[in-house]
A = this chain, B = another copy of it.
Amino acid sequence: MDLEIVTVGTELLLGFTIDSNTADISRAVSRVGGRVVRRVSVPDDERQIRDAVAGALRRSRFVVVTGGLGPTRDDVTKRAVAALFGAPLELDDAYLRELDARFASFRRGPMPPSNRSQAEVPRGATVLRNPRGTAPGLLLEGWLGTAVLLPGVPQEMRRMLEQDLVPLVKDRASHEGGGPTVIHSRLLRTTGVTESGLASALEPVLDDLGPVSLAYLPGWDGVDLRLTAWRLTAAQAAEVLDEAAACLMPTLHQWCYGTDDDDLAAVVLDALRIQGLRLAVAESCTGGLVGARLTAIPGASDVFVGGVIAYADELKTELLSVAPGLLEAHGAVSEEVVTAMARGAMDRFAADAAVAVTGVAGPSGGSDEKPVGTVWLAAGVGEREHAVCHRFPGQRREVQHRSAQSALDLVRLMVND
């Protein structure tokens, strides 16, 4: 089942915004038998939107339009598509009441008049509820074909993609002859190993992968491996992906912490939860990032107790009982200090496990002996403790991100050990 995407926004064509919606939509519909055959981006201009949507419908009869649904003057997508379908805009009283109620519940005062336009709906269109924003999505059907209008704000779009668009595409695809063929892919997420290190290690097993392609995707979290099965039925695709993953896993062993959207922080929390262990953190150069990663996971509170952002050295002494002598003798970025920080956090917070980070995130503070990117990590689990030193590439934020990821991975490896 072919479809096209039209993304609307002058911002996109000025290069102020990167269109990430197309990738999200494409991946989601590919999984259920849809195939995106073209994407067109046009500015917030009524005529250009209408032309682009008309062209997409002429070629493919199904178009997804994102952006330009907000309450401000430059949001003209709804008007453009309504005109193309010959459907006048009419006030939807039920949706207007809903908008009023939502504004009231957020205690933001009465709804500004400009928002009233968001309750105007092309005659005959279906309103798609937007749980994360005030601009509703719209589904229009006519002799031209089908148009689905979604908001351009990625969080709002993604929610409605899963809730409305994916079921619709799945249904259409399954009514086309021969049953849907899909493109499925799976990520194997690794950390603690470089792209070339992975490529060398995997070389001997590549011929056994079967009918899937393999791509290396390096990033700050580590290197993701993407396995893709092309144009098979859903059952066949799942099978060849399972086989390919099983073929790679013995070589990936401890580097692989999960698949697809797995977050290492969630993996760590799960591993600790199973063993009934509670974790504390002591962060210097990451300044709270390890805690933030953990806390971002729903249900973190039964495992993660909290910790200390010991950015200044006084706090390392005051809150983590790091002896001033250690700091003087070895410096804040040292095995001795990071180990004392982890032990201090564990004792202080009566936790079963702790992880500590101290390093030189840059751009200043580096030396010949400890250049920017030098980071000491230590983890303690029960009586065991382990410290490692890394030299990370990149600038401050990359060093901090890689440090947090490595800190989490150190806990994972020790808990699973």
Contacts and interface: CB of A to CB of B under 8 A. Distances in A.
Interface of A: 10-20, 22-28, 30, 35-43, 48, 52, 70-72, 74, 106-108, 111-115, 132, 134, 153, 155, 183, 185, 194-197, 199-200, 203, 213, 215-219, 226, 228, 281, 283, 285-292, 294-296, 298-301, 304-312, 314-315, 318-319, 349, 361-364, 391, 393-394, 396-398, 400
A15 B25 contact: yes
Contacts of A114: 196, 199-200, 203
Nearest to A197: B112
Nearest to A296: B397
18 contacts: A14-B36, A15-B27, A15-B30, A16-B185, A16-B226, A18-B18, A38-B42, A70-B195, A71-B195, A113-B200, A155-B394, A287-B288, A287-B295, A289-B295, A292-B400, A295-B361, A306-B311, A307-B309
A148 to B, nearest CB: 17
Contact of A213 (B19, B23, B26, B74): B74
A39 B41 contact: yes
B304 A291 contact: no
Given A16-B226, A289-B291, 6 more contacts: A12-B22, A18-B19, A134-B196, A281-B309, A283-B288, A304-B311
B14 A18 contact: no
Query: Copy number in this complex?
Result: 2
A40 B43 contact: no
User: Counting chain B CB atoms within 10 Å of each CB, which of A27, A114, A292 scores highest?
Assistant: A292
Contacts of A290: 288
A393 B102 CA distance: 10
Contacts of A132: 393-394
A152 B108 CA distance: 46
Nearest to A13: B36
Given A38-B13, A153-B218, A288 B291 contact: yes
B306 A291 contact: no
Given A213-B74, A281-B309, A306-B315, A37 B13 contact: yes
Contacts of A15: 22-28, 30, 36
Nearest to A218: B153
B48 A26 contact: no
A216 B292 CA distance: 29
B38 A38 contact: no
Contacts of A23: 12, 15-18
B306 A310 contact: yes
A199 B117 CA distance: 13
Closest CB pairs A-B (n = 8): A287-B295, A288-B288, A288-B291, A15-B26, A15-B27, A306-B311, A15-B23, A289-B292
Given A11-B226, A183-B14, A364 B400 contact: no
Given A200-B114, A363-B298, A396-B296, A11 B215 contact: yes
User: Counting chain B CB atoms within 10 Å of each CB, which of A42, A286, A300, A307 scores highest?
Assistant: A307
Nearest to A9: B215
Contacts of A283: 288, 291
Contacts of A183: 14
User: Counting chain B CB atoms within 10 Å of each CB, which of A17, A294, A308 scores highest?
Assistant: A308
Contacts of A394: 132, 155
A194 B106 CA distance: 11
Contacts of A40: 38-41
B17 A18 contact: no
A215 B305 contact: no
